[in-house]
Chain A
């Protein structure tokens, strides 16, 4: 029986919501031949120590926030029909200076752990998110396994292999869809090999829904997954050491790749100071329950108004939020390459001729400095009304 693996990214015991799209993709993929799905949990906030191996002393030392909450993850994944959950941990004895590094996510160490897990559980197809973590881990794993890897997939399916037998690896292949040539074409890529790996672009695949029948005690037992803890023996990293992780002041609580709503500014923002207006707007939307982030066009970054980490586009982040609000962004090919998969695009621009105005869902032809303050007021009113109810 072939096994499909999924790397699940979690943060302090909570599964990042974008993973549910990956699960949906893997489920559809493996359903064809009833293959089993193995979920590998890696926790961004260390996760070096599993609940199983943490004693009270360590909790006192402040490690408690890093423990993966097994029950919660078990439920979340069980509800979605996943039976096998493997919590991947790094053997603390082999991890240098772990106390100082409790919050450092070291991709070199982690990829090594994942490789061991993939081999141990005989995974033949691997799915993960094309997030920053995915971009660090997947290529490292693929390189060490010499396995083919397609990043930023929009969809993955099994190829038509009519002569397939269960143990016949000979004719098996997968088909992955991904953007090529600066987002201008969608390619179908035929992927062959004993292990095939896919990074899925966050938020492009509809997330899988919870199964409804787990509520009864009877079915709960059947659905709840088998959780194993896999402790990887990591080698001392002699030729590469992670010394430090710096976090830039990133004002938008949530981040671009996981945001439901992104509000971005371009040349018409005039200066960096004015991005506060976008932040206010994002905060007001966030107060109403949506994960938000503030983005920027390349011009705004090149002019030094905002840091590069906020750039959306070909040479910045490639995002797929539910709503992308472009303020004073003309909409170059390179910008579209980074946000064209947004579900809805709203453009606010003074110029009716800006490219974005003819390639969006809604547009307001007006000065953003007149619209945004009203929008912020209106969002705040919405909140008040709701809280009175």
Chain B
């Protein structure tokens, strides 16, 4: 007899875990299966775990702001579960968005007003006072170090920024997923690791279970794809699901760099999370007084869409595997080094290479599918870490509404009420059937 669960969640990352957690709280008997040896060891571990509110859509801002409240209330959220590895910690640094041509900051400001996000406007003088080593010249447009224009002397200045006192990062993203796993287990959820799904079984247009690589069959009337960068492969395993999506997902290679802070600047304790569209970079402090420097995917940078299995096995070949590249190291670090002119850039690249599970419009798909009982929380595009607990609640409610209350979500989209801010979210916004959202930034900014 195959083991049977009320719901199987494929993936035990920072989104797979909270979906299981919320389903367990509703009385579902859940199982998370993951290829990795532990919770959060996939692309979650490579996440910068930034918690910030600026998104290009009001819905995006609202969801991030809602998520922020969960992180603040972490122990309560976990129902005070004990994790032998300790708890992940939210580090509130405040978040500075520099006003630049790279961001539609006016729209962000409007969204902040609409949702009620607290913010201050800082002029250059104030920024300089708060971040002494910063150079506020305008370097736009974004170029690469191979391009001689990269070294042009800037003449104009930026025009200040928008500062949110509420913003920061989680200090250990993998641990945060592990915490939610322990909370889920406390509510009866189960997890199996080193378990790769090779097929999704269905009968008469309804999912019936999964088969693992070792041949084990596990049955469930509900299967949720939270496979991260592997999501498109999982969708292709399920009958008609891939074909039924108007918005598809793919795995995008992404590099994040670590650069030591200048000696005379305590970035770790005094610095902010910063988003800088003028040079298409973002940064946050990291232990060891280090700048963690990510890229906002400017048009001049190459995009590598890769096979996630080859990538993680280190077999994708140069520039397509999980090794930092010298060219991108210089591009990202030198861009940031323009902003912080005293930033020392080591010769040896140091950082993290991981994958985004990227959708066609960089907005995630949180939806049912064309196969009954098969759901997906995919296409998180490098910008959904902060939303994970909200997504967990939203997906669980969506699944429950469809499965137990007969909701026809494709016809009358589920309306999800935020617990903290009280706003109502039309989950149809995240539909797989949507047209490409033209309002998106088409970048990690979402």
Measured CB to CB, the residues of A under 8 A from B are 352-353
Which of chain A's residues have a CB closer than 8 A to the CB of B37? 352-353
Which of chain B's residues have a CB closer than 8 A to the CB of A352? 37-38
CB nearest neighbor in B for A352: B37
Cβ-based interface call for B321 (8 A): no
Cβ-based interface call for B41 (8 A): yes
Which of chain B's residues have a CB closer than 8 A to the CB of A353? 37-38, 41
* A353 CA / B38 CA spacing, docked (Å): 8
A-B contact count (CB 8 A): 5
Q: What does the 1/0 interface line of B298-340 toward A look like (CB < 8 Å)?
A: 0000000000000000000000000000000000000000000
A349 to chain B, nearest CB (A): 13
Which of chain A's residues have a CB closer than 8 A to the CB of B38? 352-353
* A352 CA / B38 CA spacing, docked (Å): 9
* A238 CA / B37 CA spacing, docked (Å): 63
* A369 CA / B37 CA spacing, docked (Å): 24
* A101 CA / B38 CA spacing, docked (Å): 59
CB nearest neighbor in A for B45: A353
The 5 sampled A-B contact pairs (Cβ below 8 Å) are A352-B37, A352-B38, A353-B37, A353-B38, A353-B41
5 closest Cβ contacts across the A-B interface? A353-B37, A352-B37, A353-B38, A353-B41, A352-B38
Which of chain A's residues have a CB closer than 8 A to the CB of B41? 353
* A352 CA / B41 CA spacing, docked (Å): 11
* A353 CA / B37 CA spacing, docked (Å): 7
CB nearest neighbor in A for B41: A353
* A41 CA / B37 CA spacing, docked (Å): 54
* A352 CA / B37 CA spacing, docked (Å): 8
* A95 CA / B30 CA spacing, docked (Å): 82
* A353 CA / B41 CA spacing, docked (Å): 9
A351 to chain B, nearest CB (A): 9
B290 to chain A, nearest CB (A): 13
* A273 CA / B41 CA spacing, docked (Å): 32
* A244 CA / B408 CA spacing, docked (Å): 86
CB nearest neighbor in B for A303: B288
Q: Give B8-66 interface residues, CB cut-off 8 Å to A.
A: 37-38, 41
* A39 CA / B276 CA spacing, docked (Å): 68
B32 to chain A, nearest CB (A): 17
CB nearest neighbor in B for A358: B37
CB nearest neighbor in A for B193: A352
A79 to chain B, nearest CB (A): 49
* A278 CA / B28 CA spacing, docked (Å): 49
CB nearest neighbor in A for B36: A353
A93 to chain B, nearest CB (A): 50
A123 to chain B, nearest CB (A): 41
A265 to chain B, nearest CB (A): 19
B374 to chain A, nearest CB (A): 30
A143 to chain B, nearest CB (A): 28
Q: What does the 1/0 interface line of B192-212 toward A look like (CB < 8 Å)?
A: 000000000000000000000
A302 to chain B, nearest CB (A): 10
* A352 CA / B174 CA spacing, docked (Å): 14
* A288 CA / B284 CA spacing, docked (Å): 51
A362 to chain B, nearest CB (A): 18
A294 to chain B, nearest CB (A): 25
B226 to chain A, nearest CB (A): 20
* A133 CA / B38 CA spacing, docked (Å): 46
B103 to chain A, nearest CB (A): 37
Q: Give B148-171 interface residues, CB cut-off 8 Å to A.
A: none
CB nearest neighbor in B for A302: B288
B34 to chain A, nearest CB (A): 12
* A352 CA / B193 CA spacing, docked (Å): 12
Q: Give B244-262 interface residues, CB cut-off 8 Å to A.
A: none
A116 to chain B, nearest CB (A): 42
CB nearest neighbor in A for B174: A353
CB nearest neighbor in B for A353: B37
* A353 CA / B174 CA spacing, docked (Å): 12
B209 to chain A, nearest CB (A): 28
* A34 CA / B41 CA spacing, docked (Å): 59
B83 to chain A, nearest CB (A): 13
A109 to chain B, nearest CB (A): 37
A305 to chain B, nearest CB (A): 15
* A353 CA / B44 CA spacing, docked (Å): 15
CB nearest neighbor in A for B84: A350
* A353 CA / B85 CA spacing, docked (Å): 13
CB nearest neighbor in B for A357: B37
B322 to chain A, nearest CB (A): 13
* A61 CA / B260 CA spacing, docked (Å): 56
* A353 CA / B194 CA spacing, docked (Å): 11
A350 to chain B, nearest CB (A): 9
B421 to chain A, nearest CB (A): 37
* A45 CA / B156 CA spacing, docked (Å): 70
* A353 CA / B177 CA spacing, docked (Å): 15
* A13 CA / B38 CA spacing, docked (Å): 55
